[in-house]
Every structure is written in C-alpha cells, then in structure tokens.
C-alpha cells in the first residue's frame, strides 16, 4: 500500500485528491493538511509520497520541502502547482523534489503518477518542463558546463538517462532495454556521478537541456548501444 499525504491550502483540492487516490488500488491517503500542519502530519504518518502545494499563504511549499528533507527517511515529494511556468518549480526540484504535478492533472492519470513516484520515477509535465527551461537563465546555451557533462556518458548510459527523463523507475527501465535491475541501478549511479547531480530530476533536466528528449535526440539515444 502506497501511503500518501496531500498538502494544499485549498480544502477542495485536498478532498478531491483524497477521493481520487483512495479509490485507486494500492494507494491510501493517510492524511491531508494545510501548510502549517504539513510537517507534523508527515512525521506522524511516515508516508511514501507527499503531494505538496508549492504556493500556500501561511507556510510556502519550499519551506515545507526543506523541512521534510531533514527527516531521517524523507518521503518522495512532488510539488503541486496551478501554473505551467511556476517560478519556484526549478528551486523546488533542486531542493530535492522528485517532480511536479499540475493541479488539473486528469483524475485517471493521478494514481499512476503517484505509483511512478513511489517506484522512484520522475514525474514532470513535458509541456511545463520545457516552458520552465526556456525561462531559466542559461537554458538557451546547451553547451554550458553542466550540459557538456552529458558527453561523458556511455551510449548505454545515455539510453538510461533518456528513460529516467521519461519518468521510468529502475525496474521499468530494465524491462524496456532488457537489463537487470542491478545493472540499471549501477548505470543510474554512474550517470548521477558523471553529471554531478543529486538525483533523477536534476539528471532529467540536463537531458532536456542537452536535447536528448526531442524526437531526434530520443531516437538517437535509444538507438545507441544496440
């Protein structure tokens, strides 16, 4: 059972997400909270996944995120936002969030996205992530020092990086390209080390900036190493 805490300042959003997720197999919303009560609810319930509103009037989502990250075993956190280009999303991703969801995500997609988060995958709206990158200083200079490190990856590591950016868990990546889970885990560790990033979301952002997720780049990456 995937345990979820939903944090949002709007009661309608909290109750809507709770209703949708509790109706899904294998998922239980164990608590909902506003910003000020969020950290206490998370400490008390030990959820696997937290859906956290990025903008709240009393305690903003970034503050809650930083507090969550200090826990001995922090849950996976995805930020909730109404806007495709929320100015705080990149800060949240760099602070340890595992992705973000738009609040108007289709109900039938929500449970699957939570399962992806619980399995260690990345959840980002492609439309919103591209908009964020266009608005981020340096996003238009794809050969900056960070992006250049993508060239350090082997062909197979580039395959894995593309699939990380698509939001797949290690198990799903292994199934897709016929590798054992242990081998995928080793590749992921190597990718994070070579790219000098702390997690899968940051690696996914670099893949986007390096052009690996466009049609040509993705096809090239999937074709390498075959």
This model's pTM is above 0.85: no
Q: Report the candidate in 75, 62, 72, 68 with the shortest Cα–Cα distance to residue 3.
A: 75
State percent of the chain over pLDDT 90: 47
HSE, CB side, 13 Å, CA atoms: give it for residue 175: 5
Question: What is the arithmetic mean of pLDDT over 63-84?
Answer: 89
Q: How confident is the model at residue 129 (pLDDT cuts 50, 70, 90)?
A: low
pLDDT higher than 60, residue 218: no
pLDDT higher than 60, residue 140: no
Stretch among 101-105, 136-140, 184-188, 218-222 having the lowest mean pLDDT = 218-222
Question: What is the arithmetic mean of pLDDT over 62-84?
Answer: 89
Element (H, E) at 51: strand 49-53
Contact predicate 80/110, CB 8 Å: no
Q: Which two tokens stand for residue 61?
A: 């989502």
Q: Mean pLDDT highest for which of 5-14, 119-128, 191-200? A: 5-14
Q: What HEC string does 92-140 produce?
A: HHHCCCCEEEECCCCHHHHHHHHHHHHCCCCECCHHHHHHHHHCCCCCC
Question: What is the arithmetic mean of pLDDT over 155-174?
Answer: 91
């Amino acid at each position: 059972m995937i345990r979820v805490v939903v944090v949002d300042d709007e009661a309608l959003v909290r109750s809507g997400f709770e209703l949708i997720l509790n109706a899904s197999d294998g998922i239980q919303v164990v608590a909902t909270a506003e910003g000020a009560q969020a950290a206490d609810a998370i400490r008390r319930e030990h959820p696997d996944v937290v859906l956290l509103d990025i903008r709240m009037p009393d305690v903003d989502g970034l503050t809650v995120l930083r507090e969550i990250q200090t826990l001995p075993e922090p849950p996976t956190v995805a930020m909730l936002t109404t806007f495709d280009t929320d100015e705080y999303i990149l800060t949240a991703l760099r602070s340890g969030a595992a992705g973000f969801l738009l609040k108007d995500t289709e109900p039938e997609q929500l449970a699957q996205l939570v399962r992806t988060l619980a399995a260690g995958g990345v959840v980002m709206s492609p439309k919103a992530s591209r908009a964020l990158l266009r608005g981020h200083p340096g996003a238009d200079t794809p050969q900056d020092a960070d992006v250049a490190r993508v060239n350090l990856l082997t062909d197979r590591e580039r395959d894995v990086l593309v699939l990380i950016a698509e939001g797949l868990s290690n198990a799903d990546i292994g199934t897709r390209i016929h590798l054992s889970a242990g081998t995928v885990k080793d590749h992921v560790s190597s990718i994070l080390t070579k790219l000098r990033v702390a997690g899968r979301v940051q690696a996914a952002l670099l893949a986007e900036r390096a052009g690996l997720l466009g049609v040509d780049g993705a096809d090239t990456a999937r074709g390498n190493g075959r």
